[in-house]
Amino acid sequence: MGEPDAAIFHRYAEYLWQRAGAIVARWTTAGALLGAALGAVMLSPWADWPLSRREVYLVIALGAITGGFLGRSMGAAKALGLRLQAELAQHQLQFERYALSRGQVSPEPSAPVPYVPSGAPPVSGVEPVAADPAPASPGASYGWQAIEPAASS
């Protein structure tokens, strides 16, 4: 396995950017249509609003604009994850190029070293890898307590 194919990373990132843009466009359109529909309630015969026809059309336009704005905001929030994935794909390509140019990453993966917890019986042909020492206090075996130093009094 040689140099990572840059075209694949770029196509994947472009695909994600297009999907994110489509999500924003769909939410904007749906919001504008819903806002216009809510504003069009003023035109119904059972809505007895003291507004002229010109003012009702203004309410429909304002409803569409407001709905479009809210839909765009919601669509942008929904598309944020896809945009992040696209950026990560581009940064992954840059990182791999940099690491390969410096010789820090071998192009072909080596065999993984198996992890065997301490106290487990050894399997034939596999040397056990020593586990981390047990924590000093019984309550500090997991979570933030396991990685933060103990508070000094």
- What's residue 1's pLDDT? 46
| pLDDT tens-digit map of 49-90 | 777 778 888 888 999 999 999 999 999 999 998 889 888 888
The pTM of the full predicted model, rounded to 2 decimals, is: 0.56
Lowest mean pLDDT among 3-7, 14-18, 26-30, 125-129: 125-129
Share of the chain above pLDDT 70, in %: 63
- What's residue 88's pLDDT? 87
CA distance 41 to 20: 32
CA distance 146 to 128: 23
| pLDDT tens-digit map of 20-42 | 999 999 999 999 999 999 888 87
Q: What is the mean pLDDT of the chain?
A: 75
